[in-house]
Amino acid sequence: MESASVPLERAPKRGRSRLRPFAFMSAPTVLLLLLFLMPMGVMLVISLEHGVLSGESGFTVSNFTDIVTDPLYREVALTTVIIATSAMLIQLVIAVPLAYVLAFKAGRWELPLLLFLVLADELNPMVRIYSWRMLLGREGLINSALMEIGIVNKPVDALLFSEFAVIIVLATSYLTYTVIPIYAAMKAIDRNLFEAALDLGAGWWVSARRVLLPLIAPGIFIALLLVYIPLFTDFASPALVGGSSGYMLGNAVQDLVLESGDLNAGAAMSMLMLAASAIFAVVAYRLSKIRQLES
């Protein structure tokens, strides 16, 4: 009888232990609902309402259709895609070799270099932006150096207040968030795989394409989520170093809300950007899975 009663006494404890993970997850889930989904719902409602100046009430999709059909916003969207994609590609070109060096070649300097990379990101973003203005300006260090060595006779105006300036500033602003996920993915790779590839006659390019890139695809996917999507919404860098040619969607939302006071159109554009980000995340995830399957 005593042995039979033991499982009956343990049953409630087992039930409580199974429910414990759900109890731990309930608090962050509630916070997610309150701090993310509810504001998104409020913004969606605002985006579907008539503007205050229109004098109408109720819901409408005209805020979305006006933005989609406006050729000015289509041009701004194209400029945003070009700038964000260029900045992301530059970061990947730098991040993949840098992560490889940190993961496999740095040795005892691995941790100091990683900490230095993290500390460099702690610098105030406005300080970084104004530093680039000092470097790229007409009287900046780059123009002064170019004139000193005789490459140009007068300052190059295209270095500042242009798409080039926005791309450079954005590429350097988010580099840490691109390197770390790729570095983490490389640390999980067994180095014997590279030796096996060399034994089978694969060169460095074949090893990188057939072994390294498929294995770090999840890290690249995470880097794209952390970096590429925020690039679309950045407004400080384009405003301070972009000028009229570096005007992006983030600046358009800022002007609609703060300058024009059109909260409805600003919310509609924000929802469109959110939808585009979700589509990009799905596509990037599918591409990363395809790369893994091909390997």
User: How many whole angstroms separate alpha carbon 24 and alpha carbon 34?
Assistant: 17
Q: Give the CA radius of gyration of the chain.
A: 25
The predicted model scores a pTM of 0.83
Provide the token pair at 164.
């080039």
User: Helix axis angle, 125-136 relative to 163-173, nearest 10°?
Assistant: 140
Q: How many CB atoms lie within 10 A of CB 130?
A: 13
- Contact of 269 with 253, CB cutoff 8 Å: yes
Provide the token pair at 137.
């300006």
Three-state DSSP at 49 gives strand
| Residues whose CB is less than 8 angstroms from the CB of residue 269 and which lie 6 or more positions away in sequence, other chains included | 67, 73, 249, 252, 253, 256
E runs forming strands in 79-153: none
- Contact of 264 with 50, CB cutoff 8 Å: yes
Provide the token pair at 227.
């970096």
Dihedral pair phi/psi, residue 59, rounded to 5°? -110, 155
What does the pLDDT read at residue 118?
86
User: How many whole angstroms separate alpha carbon 53 and alpha carbon 57?
Assistant: 11
What does the pLDDT read at residue 120?
82
What does the pLDDT read at residue 1?
46
What are the domain boundaries of the chain? Answer: 1-47, 61-294
* Residues of the chain where predicted confidence (pLDDT) is lower than 70: 1-19, 23, 52-55, 288-295
Provide the token pair at 243.
């000028």
- Decide: residue 22, CB within 10 A, 0-12 exposed, 13-18 middle, 19+ buried: exposed
**For residue 50, what is the DSSP state?**
P
Dihedral in degrees, nearest 10, Cα atoms 41, 255, 131, 119: 0
**CATH topology for 61-294?**
MetI-like fold (1.10.3720)
In a 13 Å sphere around the CA of 249, the CA atoms on its Cβ side amount to 30
Q: How many CB atoms lie within 10 A of CB 110?
A: 16
